[in-house]
Amino acid sequence: MNAPRNPRTFHVKSFGCQMNVYDGERMAELMAAQGLTATADADAADLVVLNTCHIREKATEKVYSDIGRIRKQARETRGGEPMIAIAGCVAQAEGEEIVKRARVDVVVGPQAYHNLPELVGRAARGEAALDTDMPAASKFGALPSRRKVGPSAFLTVQEGCDKFCTYCVVPYTRGAEVSRPWQAIIDEAKALVDAGAREITLLGQNVNAWDDDGRGLHDLIAALDRIEGLARIRYTTSHPNDMREGLIRAHAEVEKLMPFLHLPVQSGSGRILKAMNRSHSRDSYLRLLDRVRAARPDIALSGDFIVGFPGETEAEFAETLSLVDQVGYAQAFSFKYSPRPGTPAAAMDGFVPAEAMDDRLQRLQAALNRDQAAFNAATVGRTCELLLERPGKLPGQLIGKSPWLQSVHLVSEARIGDLIEVEIVEAGPNSLAGEVLRRAAA
Ligand code: 5AD
Ligand code: SF4
């Protein structure tokens, strides 16, 4: 290994979910607090952190090929290899195996990354540097406070999962459900707002299971609602079984809570839902959505779907299509089932052939795209507030988010971070165009 002894520059690359993006940001802040400089160019960095995802497809193989590519590129462009740290869920699942197979310098699991500086120090001295512990004390207390963030920021409030859906690796890589304490979250939210955030998205694998001594997510949302300077609150991902009355009511009562709900269902077939160990039925899910819509009629609904779960028949897949027709999602994610080593479903019979899997995914995505386009088209002519998040491709163009999480582009003199009132004038399948009506009060 010819890794630089003490890295001076670093690059963090995050894959997968928003919680990984959040973890990647916190790792970057941690390394910056140690005096290292972030670089946008992975080829130029002394330390490359790959913050990996293990949820679907050939995640592990992809990590190994990424490591090879990064090394080769660095050798060609600067004549040496960077120090490589593997973080995230592949690190947790593979552990020592990655060191053996790819000679990486550091392996750190999602619950141990507060130890990253120490591990990097060990690696720089040529010592073994692996930490996949899931300690009882939370890593969050050991992280530096938030400094510089964009207008829309993530805040992890809950991690892990006790639901054990039979296809899912998360309970094994992220551990049991743990809620961060109330005050730590409020402090971090205030720090984010002081650092420039106007919108906070509360994150958790089961964010709506968040709890602190009887206080639930809706209480937390009510407290965030009182933070001056914070304009918008979102949360994701929710589990249907943790969707309590208080949270549904918050959608009717809390103005800052945006009209958007990501509530994965995975399948429309009762038999498949049972085999997935989802602990909700098709009917209980649909009844829940009725209550949410009664509280907030304009709410944009989003979901996750898996096609080709072991044993899924064509008729059972058709039940997923009919559920989609019934709900009318504003957007959704859909995936082909991928066996995760060590999960119960990976040992189930009834493997669905690749062609059927592809065909089902295509038909599901066609239905979801149709509904997304219809939802977007229905907002044309509406007036809403946009939070401006980034510049667009054309000169003077800005891109902001509508309350329903749609990307809207427009030409305006306003600045990133401003809230402006616009009329939606045009809708495509993935983005909309708006015209400025006026600037909202800061
Ligand atoms: N195969 C395919 N999709 C999966 N997901 C989770 N595990 C698997 C798997 N083994 C999907 C689910 C989940 C989303 C984050 O990823 O839809 O909600
Ligand atoms: Fe995975 Fe199910 Fe937990 Fe979601 S609820 S993280 S799909 S086990």
Pocket test for ligand 2, best of 18, 165, 262 (most atoms within 8 A of CB): 165
Any long-range contacts for 274-277 (C-beta under 8 Å, 24+ apart)?
275/166, 275/309, 275/310, 275/311, 275/345, 275/348, 276/165, 276/166, 276/167, 276/306, 276/309, 276/345, 277/163, 277/164, 277/165, 277/166, 277/344
Q: What mean pLDDT is reported for the chain?
A: 94
**Cβ(59) – ligand 1 distance below 6 Å:** no
Is a pLDDT exceeding 80 seen at residue 441?
Answer: no
Q: Whose CA is nearest to atom 1 of ligand 2?
A: 168
Cβ contact 10:84 at 8 Å? no
Which is it for strands 215-216 and 211-212: parallel, antiparallel or unpaired? antiparallel
pLDDT of residue 4: 54
Per residue in 391-439, pLDDT (tens digit) is 999 888 999 999 999 999 999 999 999 999 999 999 988 889 999 887 6
Q: Which ligand is nearest to the CA of 174?
A: 2
Per-residue pLDDT band at 2 (split at 50, 70, 90): low
pLDDT of residue 440: 55
pTM above 0.85, yes or no: yes
Per residue in 91-123, pLDDT (tens digit) is 999 999 999 999 999 999 999 999 999 999 999
Per residue in 153-168, pLDDT (tens digit) is 999 999 999 999 999 9
Proportion of the chain above pLDDT 90, given as a percent: 85
Atom of ligand 1 nearest to the CA of 333: 17
Measured between alpha carbons, how far is residue 179 from residues 57, 190, 240, 249, 356 in Å?
29, 18, 18, 22, 40
- Phi, psi angles (nearest 5°) of residue 214: 90, -15
**Cβ(264) – ligand 1 distance below 6 Å:** yes
Per residue in 287-335, pLDDT (tens digit) is 999 999 999 999 999 999 999 999 999 999 999 999 999 999 999 999 9
Pocket test for ligand 2, best of 158, 161, 241 (most atoms within 8 A of CB): 161
Rounded average pLDDT over 136-149? 83
In 1-140, beta strands by DSSP E: 9-14, 37-38, 47-52, 83-87, 106-108, 130-131
**Cβ(346) – ligand 1 distance below 6 Å:** no
- Phi, psi angles (nearest 5°) of residue 130: -130, 130
Tokens 């040496």 found at: 80
How many angstroms does the Cα of residue 163 sit away from the middle of ligand 1?
Answer: 13
How many angstroms does the Cα of residue 330 sit away from the middle of ligand 1?
Answer: 19
Q: What's the half-sphere exposure (Cβ side, CA atoms, 13 Å) at 299? A: 25
Separation CA 137–CA 24 (nearest Å):
20
Per-residue pLDDT band at 1 (split at 50, 70, 90): very low
Per residue in 237-246, pLDDT (tens digit) is 999 999 999 9
What is residue 111's DSSP assignment?
T
How many other CB atoms are there within 10 angstroms of residue 182's CB atom?
17
Token readout for 276 is 């997935």
**Cβ(340) – ligand 2 distance below 6 Å:** no
pLDDT of residue 96: 92
- Cis before 236 (ω within 30): no
How many angstroms does the Cα of residue 239 sit away from the middle of ligand 1?
Answer: 13
Token readout for 316 is 């059972």
Q: Whose CA is nearest to atom 4 of ligand 2?
A: 205
> Of 365 and 3, which is predicted with more confidence?
365
Is a pLDDT exceeding 70 seen at residue 6?
Answer: yes
- What is the torsional sign of CA 278, 279, 283, 285? negative
Separation CA 46–CA 10 (nearest Å):
6
**Cβ(18) – ligand 1 distance below 6 Å:** no
Tokens 């402006």 found at: 420
Cβ contact 208:240 at 8 Å? no
How many angstroms does the Cα of residue 335 sit away from the middle of ligand 1?
Answer: 7
Is a pLDDT exceeding 70 seen at residue 224?
Answer: yes
- Phi, psi angles (nearest 5°) of residue 341: -55, 135
Per residue in 64-93, pLDDT (tens digit) is 999 999 999 999 988 889 999 999 999 999
Nearest to 83 by CA among 67, 63, 98, 95: 67
Measured between alpha carbons, how far is residue 382 from residues 48, 127, 356, 424 in Å?
45, 60, 40, 6
pLDDT of residue 50: 97
Q: Is 396 exposed, middle or buried (0-12, 13-18, 19+ CB in 10 A)?
A: exposed
Per residue in 49-67, pLDDT (tens digit) is 999 999 887 788 889 999 9
pLDDT of residue 442: 47
The amino acid occupying position 32 is: A
Q: Which ligand is nearest to the CA of 304?
A: 1
Q: Whose CA is nearest to atom 2 of ligand 2?
A: 165
Q: Write out the DSSP string of 383-401.
A: EEEEEEEEE-SSTTEEEEE
Token readout for 410 is 């427009």
Q: Which ligand is nearest to the CA of 364?
A: 1
CA angle 316, 318, 321 (to 5 degrees): 125
**Cβ(266) – ligand 1 distance below 6 Å:** yes
Token readout for 327 is 């709900």
- CB neighbour list of residue 332: distance below 8 Å, 6 or more residues apart: 302, 303, 304, 305, 324, 368, 372
Per-residue pLDDT band at 135 (split at 50, 70, 90): confident
Helix (H, G, I), strand (E, B) or coil at 251: helix
Q: Which ligand is nearest to the CA of 267?
A: 1
**Cβ(335) – ligand 1 distance below 6 Å:** yes
Separation CA 204–CA 177 (nearest Å):
9
pLDDT of residue 439: 63
**Cβ(176) – ligand 2 distance below 6 Å:** no
CA angle 14, 18, 24 (to 5 degrees): 35
How many angstroms does the Cα of residue 337 sit away from the middle of ligand 2?
Answer: 14
Q: Whose CA is nearest to atom 16 of ligand 1?
A: 55
Cα 293 versus chain centre, distance: 24
